[in-house]
Amino acid sequence: MQTAIGEIQTLFVDVLLPVPIPKYFRYRVPSDMVEMVQKGVRVMVEFGRRRILTGIIVESSEFPPSSYQAKYLLDILEETPSVNDKQLKFWKWMADYYLCHEGDVLQAALPSGLKLNSQSRIQVNPDFDEEDLADLSDKAVRLFRAVRHQQSIPYEQSADILEVKSPYPYIKEMIQAEAIIIYEEVKEKYKPKKVSKVRLNPTLLENASGLEEVFTSLAKKPKQEDILLKYLGLVPVYNDPNVNDAGVDKKKLLEEGKEMSPSSLKTLVKNGILEEFSEVVSRFDDAHFQLYQNMGHDFELSEAQQNAYSQILESFKTKDATVLHGVTGSGKTEIYIKLIQDVIEGGGQALFLLPEIALSTQMVVRLMKVFGDQLGVYHSRYSDNERVEVWRGVNEGRFSVIVGVRSSIFLPFEDLSLIIVDEEHETSYKQHEPAPRYHARDMALVLGRMHQAKVILGSATPSVESYYLAQKGQFGLVSLTERFGNATLPEIIIADLKKERKQKKLKGDFSSRLVDEVRSAIDKEEQVILFQNRRGYSPFVMCEECSWTPTCPSCAVSLTYHIYKNDLRCHYCGYREATPKTCVSCGSTKIKTVGTGTQKIEEEIQNFVPAARVQRMDQDTTRKKYGYQQIIEDFEQGHIDILVGTQMVSKGLDFDNVTLVGICNMDQMMFFPDFRAMERAFQMAVQVSGRAGRKSKEGKVVIQTYNADHPLLKKIIKQYYEGFFRVELKERHQYSYPPFTRLIKVTVKSEDQLLGEKAALQLAKGLTRRLGIKRVLGPQAPTINKIRNKYLQEVMLKFERQNFDLLKAKGILKEEIFIIETEPFFKKVQIVIDVDPL
Ligand code: ADP
Ligand code: ZN
Ligand code: ZN
């Protein structure tokens, strides 16, 4: 696209912007920027009135847009593109597949640190006369003085200064009096990390006696001498003038070893012996990251692993993707590591995807030990700045391996050779909100194809979809059936709650069996994990007299009781209120809690085993950046005996001393109203069980249920994936569910319930007419039919996998939705499309 630039008089560019509008926007390039135009560079543009956005150049043209007056680009933000061709192609593919806009994908893909931040700021008008202040109100004067004092302030800050909710009236007053100027400030969000360093004044080294003279002058200043000596200890220029004096971190010079005096350092700088400067450093250079770097890795693959490894290489010859089905603890990770090492040796790049939670701890440490600073970590809890550094690191080819969460599929890879999707069955690979509602595993397959990279889908409990494709031969299939080393799979015990209830042996939510097992594990100083798939204390409270239950004012759900703040919370919108002391409906004071969450399990088990140190791990206890990591570390180091948690405890953790896992409520998982409930229950149970007895000690798993005879439990006891899969596949076939069909869920949202219902009905009718009655289900209100004050209606589309033109169907869907969206009557209705919903 740079070809004819020299001759072109006026140049236009098409810019992809992070907005949900299905087109590129054409801008005019100012003549002094023409040379800098390149596909993939970030630009700053004005969009609409006064909105400043960051976009990506995707195309250039000699022609102005036909239907609007092109604005000038405000700026080209970089010389080397942040985004490459493969990414643009991939994003376009995603937008088409998920029926969203490329702008949605860009918005999700680009870390916000690479987007501009624009902010309204206030500055005083220098021409404004002090005398004119008399005409302003007291508050306006106060604001004026504060702004003048600070030169300029962000608009929002004016409310704080005035201690009012809205500063608008005072600001308006000042604008009218021409006392202040409001302007838009645009800044790069990314801030490089800088450290203060000092180095020897280079002139001192120019002649041989320079340093000696300095030491003579410091003869009576021992503190300064100390600092200088320490410096020369760290950077031995004195012995060898060829040593490059890159300076020393000021903190390091002052902190380590013998106490050094900061004021003496200042004096050394003042006297020109040392000089101060600042240097941009990587955020990943700090101690936290260096701890584990390059610690070496001397594992030899076991025979079984070696076998699996060879089979994978064999499968790579004919298949793009291979399912690695290995029981928990079979050593899949070591195989991944070997495969990645191969890739690095061949000069390629590898991407290692992990579900959200598994990422923050053990796995990353394991990988860091092997790959050192060749490894980049892309985590959702990283700051904007850190994400930018990973992005740039990939762009500049600094990292050969990226381990990351689902959004790492968006990174600027040039040439991927291998993508590993670990725990490929995990639902956290799917993004639910906002668009693009993508599944990172599925997109990894697409990305792999674009790069001609091989893809590994690893799991102890593969998704029905992936395993089905492997069985059909579309993917390769490699299995590891035994745990590594001497570890055996845990013994699984079913605690029959029905029977224990009859025998009056139940204690709250606990069977006597589970309590006994916990006690005996604690007696042996072993550790326990208890799994309860619900946070809070109780999913609801209820009046004993009249059954009144507090519900969320904006959602159609009951409020969850949280014991520590003694309040009720909505897990859908975050609403909170104090727990009522009396019933709103009948005035009774008998309010009881119903059902069980992690907090209640925590409380109960503490009562049964008072000596044990119990810790809870759920969304409520792991909000802080390293919150999750801290709990894992404490558990690993034996500061915790019993870990109670939600699904967070089921994922990829590897502890030597855990011998018992309790699944407190298996029924809750099995009888969830969703066609995937059995699959989820099986996966969850096997994964949680996988945390027990991973090394030499034997593990036990206690599953509590009122349905001890359920066939699924028999499969779980034997960890019999094949058996589970066969039964499940039969059911899916019988009811035409995936993998035999593809689903698209269309949700119609509206604050006006009736209007939403009408829109959904009209949509379903239109679709039925064009796609046939068998392919359109609904409209129907979902189980939770109101969230955040919007009523929901769903229309489900079901397409047979073969002999059906999905592309055409998607086109029809788009058209039908367009009809509703452009109908003024339905202006207040919102339509959300979810392709392959989970
Ligand atoms: P998976 O990912 O299949 O659940 P892991 O890779 O975590 O299994 O392996 C289970 C345990 O066995 C880990 O503690 C791991 O360090 C150890 N392990 C696996 N393979 C080897 C090997 N070849 N040599 C030494 N230890 C191994
Ligand atoms: Zn009541
Ligand atoms: Zn709510």
Å from CA of 301 to ligand 1 middle: 9
Give bridge partners of residue 404 from the DSSP assignment. Answer: 353, 378
- What is the distance between the alpha carbons of residues 103 and 25, in angstroms, rounded to a whole number? 11
Query: What does the pLDDT read at residue 666?
Result: 92
Q: Are strands 540-543 and 830-835 parallel, antiparallel or unpaired?
A: unpaired
Å from CA of 590 to ligand 1 middle: 53
SS3 755: helix
**8 A C-beta contact, residue 750 and residue 830:** yes
Looking at ligand 1, which atom is closest to the CA of residue 483? 10
Measured from the alpha carbon of residue 363, the closest ligand is 1
SS3 531: strand
**8 A C-beta contact, residue 742 and residue 799:** yes
- What is the distance between the alpha carbons of residues 413 and 397, in angstroms, rounded to a whole number? 8
**8 A C-beta contact, residue 478 and residue 325:** yes
SS3 417: strand
**Type of residue found at 498:** K
Query: What does the pLDDT read at residue 679?
Result: 94
Looking at ligand 1, which atom is closest to the CA of residue 327? 3
Measured from the alpha carbon of residue 556, the closest ligand is 3
Which secondary structure element, helix H or strand E, spans residue 615, and what is its range?
Answer: strand 614-617
- Most informative mutation of 484, 636, 687 for ligand 1 (most atoms within 8 A of CB): 484
Looking at ligand 1, which atom is closest to the CA of residue 301? 23
Give Cβ neighbours of residue 118 (< 8 Å, ≥ 6 apart).
51, 52, 184, 185, 186, 187
Contacts 24+ apart (CB under 8 A), 449-453: 449/320, 450/86, 450/89, 450/90, 450/93, 451/86, 451/413, 451/415, 451/416, 451/417, 453/348, 453/416, 453/417, 453/418, 453/419
Give Cβ neighbours of residue 589 (< 8 Å, ≥ 6 apart).
581, 582, 583
How is residue 577 annotated by DSSP? E
Looking at ligand 1, which atom is closest to the CA of residue 330? 3
- What is the distance between the alpha carbons of residues 43 and 108, in angstroms, rounded to a whole number? 17
- What is the distance between the alpha carbons of residues 820 and 827, in angstroms, rounded to a whole number? 8
Whose Cα sits closest to atom 6 in ligand 1? 331
Looking at ligand 1, which atom is closest to the CA of residue 302? 23
- Angle formed by the axes of helices 210-217 and 222-234, to 10°? 150
Å from CA of 570 to ligand 3 middle: 5
DSSP characters over 796-825:
EEEEESSS--HHHHHHHHHHHHHHHHT-GG
Whose Cα sits closest to atom 15 in ligand 1? 331
What kind of architecture, by CATH, is found in domain 288-480?
3-Layer(aba) Sandwich (3.40)
Whose Cα sits closest to atom 10 in ligand 1? 329
Å from CA of 583 to ligand 2 middle: 5
Residues framing ligand 1 (Cβ under 6 A): 299-302, 305, 326, 328-334, 484, 654, 694
Using CA atoms, how far residue 394 sits from 131, 377, 378, 537, in Å, is 58, 11, 11, 44
- Most informative mutation of 299, 325, 334 for ligand 1 (most atoms within 8 A of CB): 334
Q: In sequence order, what E strands does 508-597 have?
A: 527-531, 540-543, 560-562, 567-569, 576-578, 591-594
Radius of gyration of the chain (CA): 32
Whose Cα sits closest to atom 9 in ligand 1? 331
- Angle formed by the axes of helices 168-176 and 138-150, to 10°? 80
Whose Cα sits closest to atom 26 in ligand 1? 299
Å from CA of 332 to ligand 1 middle: 7
Looking at ligand 1, which atom is closest to the CA of residue 305? 23
Ligand-binding annotation for 570, yes or no, is: yes
**8 A C-beta contact, residue 512 and residue 502:** no
Measured from the alpha carbon of residue 572, the closest ligand is 3
Å from CA of 697 to ligand 1 middle: 15
Å from CA of 549 to ligand 2 middle: 8
**Type of residue found at 662:** G
How is residue 651 annotated by DSSP? S
- What is the distance between the alpha carbons of residues 832 and 471, in angstroms, rounded to a whole number? 34
Interior/surface letters 308-327, b for 16+ CB within 10 angstroms, e for the rest? bbebbeebbeebbbbbbbbb
Ligand-binding annotation for 100, yes or no, is: no
Å from CA of 791 to ligand 2 middle: 27
- What is the distance between the alpha carbons of residues 542 and 585, in angstroms, rounded to a whole number? 11
**8 A C-beta contact, residue 702 and residue 662:** yes
**Type of residue found at 286:** D
pTM score: 0.85
- What is the distance between the alpha carbons of residues 36 and 32, in angstroms, rounded to a whole number? 8
Å from CA of 810 to ligand 2 middle: 50
- What is the distance between the alpha carbons of residues 75 and 73, in angstroms, rounded to a whole number? 6
pLDDT digits over 107-146, tens only? Answer: 999 998 898 877 788 899 888 887 888 888 988 899 898 9
- CA 170 from chain centre, in angstroms, equals 41
**8 A C-beta contact, residue 133 and residue 124:** no
- What is the distance between the alpha carbons of residues 328 and 650, in angstroms, rounded to a whole number? 11
Measured from the alpha carbon of residue 366, the closest ligand is 1
Measured from the alpha carbon of residue 483, the closest ligand is 1
Å from CA of 244 to ligand 3 middle: 62
Say if domain 491-535+600-731 classifies as CATH 3.40.50.300: yes
Q: Are strands 416-422 and 454-459 parallel, antiparallel or unpaired?
A: parallel
Q: Are strands 375-378 and 401-404 parallel, antiparallel or unpaired?
A: parallel
**8 A C-beta contact, residue 758 and residue 808:** no
Torsion of CA 81, 86, 90, 91, to 10 degrees: 10
Å from CA of 708 to ligand 3 middle: 35
Which protein residues have their CB within 5 A of the ion that is ligand 2? Answer: 543, 545-546, 548, 583, 585-586, 588
Contacts 24+ apart (CB under 8 A), 306-311: 308/335, 308/478, 308/479, 308/480, 309/335, 309/338, 309/339, 311/476, 311/478
Measured from the alpha carbon of residue 559, the closest ligand is 3
Give Cβ neighbours of residue 165 (< 8 Å, ≥ 6 apart).
159
Q: What are phi and psi of 199, to 5 degrees?
A: -145, 165
Ligand-binding annotation for 555, yes or no, is: yes
Å from CA of 744 to ligand 2 middle: 42
Looking at ligand 1, which atom is closest to the CA of residue 299? 24
Using CA atoms, how far residue 505 sits from 455, 664, 701, 750, in Å, is 50, 16, 19, 49
Whose Cα sits closest to atom 23 in ligand 1? 301
**Type of residue found at 93:** W
Looking at ligand 1, which atom is closest to the CA of residue 690? 4
- Most informative mutation of 333, 336, 339, 361 for ligand 1 (most atoms within 8 A of CB): 333
CATH superfamily, with its number, for domain 741-835: Ribosomal protein S10 (3.30.70.600)
Token digits of residue 98: 């998920």
Looking at ligand 1, which atom is closest to the CA of residue 326? 3
Measured between alpha carbons, how far apart are the two ends of the chain, in Å? 41
- What is the distance between the alpha carbons of residues 728 and 731, in angstroms, rounded to a whole number? 5
Query: What does the pLDDT read at residue 801?
Result: 80
Token digits of residue 171: 């600001």
- What is the distance between the alpha carbons of residues 429 and 357, in angstroms, rounded to a whole number? 11
- CA 339 from chain centre, in angstroms, equals 25
Cβ atoms < 10 Å from Cβ of 246: 9
Torsion of CA 230, 232, 234, 239, to 10 degrees: -140
Measured from the alpha carbon of residue 487, the closest ligand is 1
Residue entry with tokens 């870390």? 111
pLDDT along the chain (838 residues), means of 10: 55 94 93 94 87 92 90 93 97 96 95 84 86 86 89 86 84 87 80 85 75 81 84 74 76 74 86 86 62 62 94 96 92 94 94 78 81 86 86 92 95 96 94 95 97 96 96 96 81 93 93 95 94 91 93 93 92 92 93 92 95 92 80 90 89 81 91 89 87 79 93 84 91 93 96 96 96 92 93 94 83 94 94 95
Q: What are phi and psi of 487, to 5 degrees?
A: -65, 135
Looking at ligand 1, which atom is closest to the CA of residue 300? 23
Ligand-binding annotation for 546, yes or no, is: yes
Measured from the alpha carbon of residue 591, the closest ligand is 2
**Type of residue found at 445:** L
Say if domain 11-115 classifies as CATH 3.30.565.10: no
- What is the distance between the alpha carbons of residues 226 and 258, in angstroms, rounded to a whole number? 9
- What is the distance between the alpha carbons of residues 521 and 526, in angstroms, rounded to a whole number? 5
Å from CA of 406 to ligand 3 middle: 27
Å from CA of 476 to ligand 1 middle: 22
Closest CA to 77 of 47, 113, 109, 49: 113
- What is the distance between the alpha carbons of residues 447 and 349, in angstroms, rounded to a whole number? 13
Q: What is the largest CA-CA distance in the chain?
A: 97
What is the ipTM, given to two decimal places?
A: 0.96
Closest CA to 423 of 407, 409, 449, 441: 441
Whose Cα sits closest to atom 20 in ligand 1? 331
Residue entry with tokens 């709990």? 631
SS3 203: helix
Whose Cα sits closest to atom 19 in ligand 1? 331
pLDDT digits over 217-242, tens only? Answer: 888 888 888 888 888 887 777 666 66
Q: What angle do CA 214, 216, 217 make, to 5 degrees?
A: 65
Cβ atoms < 10 Å from Cβ of 7: 7
Ligand-binding annotation for 583, yes or no, is: yes
- Most informative mutation of 305, 425, 654, 696 for ligand 1 (most atoms within 8 A of CB): 654
